[in-house]
Structure 1
Amino acid sequence: MADKKLIKLNANENFYGCSPKVVSFIKKNAHIVSSYPNYTPEKLEQAIAQKLNVSTNCVAVGAGSVRIIDGILQSLVKPENEILIFENSFVAYYQLADIHQIKYKLIPQHQFVCKLENVIPYVTKKTKLVFIANPNNPTGTAITHNELVQFINKIPSSVLVVVDEAYIEYATQKNIAKPLSLISKHKNIVVVRTFSKAYGLAGLRIGYVIADEKIIAQLKNNRIPFTINCFAEKAALTALSDETFLYSCVQKNKTEKEFLFSALKRKGYQVVPSEANFLFVYFKKEEEKEKVYHALLDKNLVVCNLKIFGQEKCLRIGIGDRKINKQIIASMV
């Protein structure tokens, strides 16, 4: 095993890497590693704002979306507050809450979907924030725009609704929630995005948040200078401009996801339809899951055994190209 190349399908990275323009930039500019980066990533914030048609004052960049989420908890949640997190969602939410000793409640999903109506009964005077991963990680499911609008109209405006859109570029569902379109009217909506997934820059650690100017000002006031390294900002600017590469990756992911999903369903596996770049597979028994996990590992295919996140009967499988997906199918007897 150690002598063979492992195929990583466990971290939801872009299977096709990053834009060749980014690689070219890094190769040509290795010398800048001895220089400090910009004090703050203003150029990238301006480019993101222009792309999304929002004010620059509504955008803040950070060292990955996890660091953005960490900053949100540090800056916007007080010790006496509580936050709400869906079960079977991004593990960093409750890991960071534990680190900052913030109390949280777990909201049940419905058929692996973050049903927003399930949140309402859990809201109290102490509730400060609710996390919604859309598409959700690890299930790949998504909420609709109508569901988000209804939820926003029901929940107190004092409760921040943080929509984590790490995989939004991959989503093809036409009626998927569009929280950016609601921020001007609902000041409690916060949208988190990343360059780690579809843009293929996971190793550079760069993400961003879009919200009302007052919220962004609070986050920027607590931001440590020089946190975005000298390559990250310029690489992100380059990646943002290469729409052709992004579109190609998204289309290949869509085609291969449909291929792998259909093949696994035909083989009798319980697979959840996904709006991301991975598939969530669940089993009746943990033993069945372990057998499949090790069968894939024996073929050097590394998928995410969700037991490490407390989901003993589930696997999350990243989408590869046609060659790799055929290997996955052949290995899952």
Structure 2
Amino acid sequence: MYVKPQILTLQAYKPGKPSEVVMREYGLDKVVKLASNENPFGCSPKVFEELRNVVSKFAIYPDGATEEISGKLAKFLNIEPNQLIFGSGADEIIQLISRSLLTKDHNIVQASQTFSQYSHHAVIEGSEVRSVPLVNGVHDLDGMLNAVDKNTKIVWICNPNNPTGTYVNTRLLSAFLEKVPSSTFVVVDEAYFEYVSASDYPDTISLMNKYENLIVLRTFSKAYGLASFRIGYGIANSKLIQELNIARLPFNTSMVAQVAAIASLEDQVFIKNCVAQNKKGMEQYTSFFDAYGIEYYPSQANFIFVPVSNSQEIFTELESKGYIIRAFPTGIRITIGTAAENEGLILQLKSVLKNNTAINNG
């Protein structure tokens, strides 16, 4: 054995088969990937314009202190630059927080099910993982609060939750923060923040003025369409950010990622259009599910979750027809694509229903 014993209890993250592999396996000419919650409309054209201006700088290290992007993003969010930390996607911030805060004497509290990396890194650090089942796809904050004790170092709240797309509202989150010990950090992962339209969704940044144990995560991978650049960020009180930076790798976000993020941030018209298209796409699915009496969780993200008992069967059937979704033990998650992609998948789902091979709610 070469690694910590607990690492061998885990599995490496499996992102799913590339489209090219699926095409070869099934002899397909085209595959539509609706599995990873990527933006089907790509990124802002401004990104390409700005990247052309830095091709002569590829041999130079990036801005390790992320001064320019910190300044621009802080202004956009109306916070101070020293409240920001950047990473290779929000995933690296999750790793940084876990590495910096957790020991074998600690535990974390999370939902079940939610984003896998919260528990993954807790296990690596030797911490206990306490998972509280979702209620109708939503975080059970009362149950999570009951799981918190003096050794709880982090509570993870994915909002909107991945994979269910559901959200915790302002009233519930504020009540939770009031009761959680100040020694316990509450990390609210808002990877899909830009897609949210609910009027009672929490303004977590303003809540930081009252709760110093609150950390917020966001990313440029989803609505901003920069998944391949790998850049996300955390927001917290400046003292905590200063300490987390000690554990951050030097130059952990590339120059091209920083340039792309700044350019995309400055094109909010593009983001608004993507969000509007996502809403229309979501309505394509909800209209279909409603018409066929198929259960689903109302989503505030760019994906929709259908609780089913035969998720792998549905996944395989759709994959063979050129549509890649994501299967979970309790259901399937479908990324909202373009109007044509959505319509194509819906037609295949109708075929699946007609053949009586899948979509068995319960």
Shorter-chain TM-score range = over 0.9
- Contact 1:115 / 1:143 at 8 angstroms: preserved in 2? no
Query: Which range moves more in the overlay, 106-115 or 18-27?
Result: 18-27
The aligned counterpart of 1:21 is 46
Match of 2:60 in 1: 35
Q: Deviations over 1:58-102 (max 9, x none)?
A: 111111101001000111223311111110100111112222222
> 2:320 is matched by which residue type in structure 1?
D
State how far apart, in whole Å, the 1-side matches of 2:242 and 2:312 are: 47
Q: What residue is the counterpart of 1:220 in the other structure?
A: 245
Task: Tell me whether 1:61 sits opposite 2:86 in the alignment.
Answer: yes
Counterpart for residue 301 of structure 1: 323
Secondary structure of the residue aligned to 1:79 is coil
Cα contact 2:305–2:332 (8 A) shared by 1: yes
Report SS of the residue matched to 2:234. strand
Given the two structures, how large is their TM-score scaled by the length of structure 1?
Answer: 0.94
Matched residue count: 325
| Structure 1 position 34, deviation (Å) | 2.2
Alpha-carbon shift at residue 255 of structure 1 (Å): 1.4
Q: Is the 8 A contact 1:162 1:191 kept in 2?
A: yes
Partner of 2:354: none
Q: Is the 8 A contact 2:51 2:259 kept in 1?
A: no
CA contact (8 A) 1:120 1:155 kept: yes
Picking from 93, 97, 106, the partner of 2:131 is 106
Unaligned runs of 5+ in 2: 1-22, 351-362
Instruction: Give the residue type in structure 1 aligned to 2:190.
Output: E
1:27 is displaced (CA, Å) by 4.0
Matches within 5 A, 1:73-112: 73-112=98-137
- 2 CA distance for matches of 1:331 and 1:295? 9
Tell me, yes or no, if the aligned pair for 1:165 and 1:192 is still in contact at 8 Å: yes
The match for 1:155 among 180, 185, 193 is 180
Give 1:45 shift.
1.1
Partner residue of 1:48? 73
In the aligned structure 1, how far is the partner of 2:96 from the partner of 2:231? 14
| Maintained 8 Å contact 1:60/1:216 | yes
Equivalent pair of 1:264/1:329 in contact (CA under 8 Å): no
* 1:320 counterpart residue number: 337
Matching of residue 239 in structure 1 with residue 264 in structure 2: yes
Letter in 2 for 1:304: R
TM-score by length of 2: 0.87
Give the deviation of 1:291 after TM superposition: 3.6
Q: Within 5 Å, give how 1:130-279 maps onto structure 2.
A: 130-279=155-304
What's the counterpart of residue 348 of structure 2?
331
Query: Which amino acid counterpart does residue 106 of structure 2 have in structure 1?
Result: N
Contact 2:165 2:299 in 1 (8 A): yes
Cα offset, 1:264, TM superposition: 2.0
Supply the distance in 2 between the matched residues of 1:331 and 1:291 (Cα, whole angstroms): 14
Q: Give 1:120's aligned residue.
A: 145
Aligned residue for 2:167, secondary structure, equals: coil
- Structure 2 vs 1, CA of residues 63 and 290 (structure 1 numbering), >3 Å: closer, same or farther? closer
Contact kept? 2:103, 2:125, Cα under 8 Å:
no
Q: Structure 2 counterpart of 1:17, which letter?
A: G
**C-alpha separation in 2, matches of 1:173 and 1:192:** 19
